């Protein structure tokens, strides 16, 4: 297949690109580095020249915090909608949209709402689409995965309130395996949450991250939500991940039923064995 992969330079995109190339697909990778700035690709006409002979498109562009010209509505909604429209005009047969767990009717943050708006538009098209909503993804080279590693290595580990917010982390190889299956599955038009059966609290997840780095137990410091929020208001000037809405999303915790994705893959998703934290998708058979 000839596949246009947007966000090809990112954590998910890099792993996907490698898996697709290993399968012999022709991969056209799109990111700002090679002239595809979503902020400037807001009409079908910007996309159409890049879709000639393309069989499938995977969109894995996304940001976790806004800055300057990196806006949620532009990058998560307007540019993808223009891309989806162009795909329909160009006769692209299949579209795989990487959304995020929580981009559903419960969404309240601009991050989730802007993802959901594009997902909803895609779901309205008569094209073979997949909307995939991963939970927190871990594995070598992920930005949030790295942040959790660094946090967990501190001598005192900060958590919000009691740190019992729930996560269902998924390994990057399971995300890649789900996309690979979505490209060939006979049944299209599906929204799937990519979540594992492993339900773990935020606090336990950080302790696990610490353990796999060979570090001994550390003290957990419970920070009341209001104080954490104040810290994040300052921290957002230093890191785009530190956003009040990200803290609100963390506080809620998201859970989804793992059975649909397990059924789709025909197997259970991986549980967080230590080696997985330092592995990318190519290290595991599931993705290739």
Ligand X SMILES: NC(=O)c1ccc[n+]([C@@H]2O[C@H](COP(=O)([O-])OP(=O)(O)OC[C@H]3O[C@@H](n4cnc5c(N)ncnc54)[C@H](OP(=O)(O)O)[C@@H]3O)[C@@H](O)[C@H]2O)c1
Alpha-carbon distance 285 to 263, whole Å? 18
Q: Should residue 254 be labelled a site residue for ligand X when binding is judged by CB under 6 A? A: no
Instruction: Find the part of the chain contacting ligand X (CB under 6 A) among 129-137, 207-215, 229-237, 265-273.
Output: 129-137
CB of 15 to ligand X, least distance (A): 8
Answer for the pair 50, 30: CB distance below 8 angstroms, yes or no.
yes
Per-position x/- string for 134-163, each x denoting binding to ligand X as judged by CB under 6 A, each - no binding:
x-xx----xxx-------------------
CB of 179 to ligand X, least distance (A): 11
Q: Should residue 13 be labelled a site residue for ligand X when binding is judged by CB under 6 A? A: yes
Instruction: Find the part of the chain contacting ligand X (CB under 6 A) among 7-15, 197-205, 241-249, 274-282.
Output: 7-15
Alpha-carbon distance 140 to 171, whole Å? 10
> Exposure pattern of 169-204 as b/e (b: 16+ CB <10 Å)?
bbbbbbbbbbbbbbbeeeeeebbbbbbbebebbbbb
CB of 124 to ligand X, least distance (A): 20
CB of 29 to ligand X, least distance (A): 9
Answer for the pair 204, 166: CB distance below 8 angstroms, yes or no.
no
Tokens for 112, please give them.
């989730």
Q: Should residue 61 be labelled a site residue for ligand X when binding is judged by CB under 6 A? A: yes
Alpha-carbon distance 60 to 58, whole Å? 6
Q: DSSP readout, 179-223?
A: HHHHHH-S--SEEEEE--S--EEHHHHHHHHHHHTT----EEEEE
DSSP conformational letter for 63: -
CB of 122 to ligand X, least distance (A): 14
In terms of CB distance, is 136 or 276 closer to ligand X?
136
The one among 60, 109, 173, 243 contacting ligand X by CB under 6 A? 60
Q: Should residue 127 be labelled a site residue for ligand X when binding is judged by CB under 6 A? A: no
CB of 225 to ligand X, least distance (A): 22
- Which residues, at least 6 apart from 173, have a Cβ–Cβ distance to it below 8 Å? 15, 139, 270, 276, 279, 280, 281, 283, 284, 286, 287
Per-position x/- string for 14-53, each x denoting binding to ligand X as judged by CB under 6 A, each - no binding:
-----------------xxx--xxxx--------------
The one among 17, 62, 80, 139 contacting ligand X by CB under 6 A? 62
Q: Should residue 63 be labelled a site residue for ligand X when binding is judged by CB under 6 A? A: yes
Instruction: Centre a 10 Å sphere on the Cβ of residue 257 and count the other Cβ atoms it contains.
Output: 11
In terms of CB distance, is 9 or 203 closer to ligand X?
9
Binding site for ligand X (CB under 6 A): 7, 9-13, 31-33, 36-39, 60-63, 70, 75, 98, 100, 134, 136-137, 142-144
């Amino acid at each position: 297949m000839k596949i246009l992969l947007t966000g090809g330079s990112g954590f998910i995109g890099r792993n996907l690109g490698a898996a697709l190339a290993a399968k012999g697909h022709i991969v056209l990778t799109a990111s700002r580095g090679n002239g595809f700035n979503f902020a400037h690709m807001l009409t079908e006409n910007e996309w159409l020249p890049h879709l000639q002979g393309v069989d499938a498109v995977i969109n894995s562009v996304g940001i976790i915090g806004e800055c300057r010209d990196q806006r949620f509505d532009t990058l998560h909604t307007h540019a993808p909608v223009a891309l989806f429209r162009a795909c329909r005009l160009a006769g692209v047969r299949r579209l795989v949209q990487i959304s995020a767990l929580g981009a559903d009717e419960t969404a309240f943050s601009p991050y989730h709402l802007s993802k959901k708006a594009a997902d909803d538009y895609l779901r309205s098209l008569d094209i073979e689409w997949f909307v995939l909503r991963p939970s927190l993804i871990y594995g070598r080279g992920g930005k949030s995965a790295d942040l959790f590693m660094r946090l967990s290595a501190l001598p005192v580990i900060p958590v919000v309130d009691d740190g019992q917010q729930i996560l269902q982390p998924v390994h990057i190889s399971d995300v890649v395996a789900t996309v690979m299956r979505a490209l060939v599955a006979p049944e299209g038009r599906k929204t799937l949450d990519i979540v594992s059966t492993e339900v773990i609290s935020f606090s336990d997840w950080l302790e696990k991250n610490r353990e796999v780095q060979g570090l001994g137990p550390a003290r957990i410091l419970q920070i009341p939500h209001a104080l954490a929020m104040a810290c994040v208001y300052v921290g957002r000037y230093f890191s785009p991940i530190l956003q009040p809405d990200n803290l609100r999303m963390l506080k809620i915790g998201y859970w989804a039923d793992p059975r649909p994705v397990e059924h789709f893959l025909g197997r259970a998703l991986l549980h967080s064995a230590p080696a997985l934290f330092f592995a990318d998708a190519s290290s595991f058979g599931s993705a290739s």
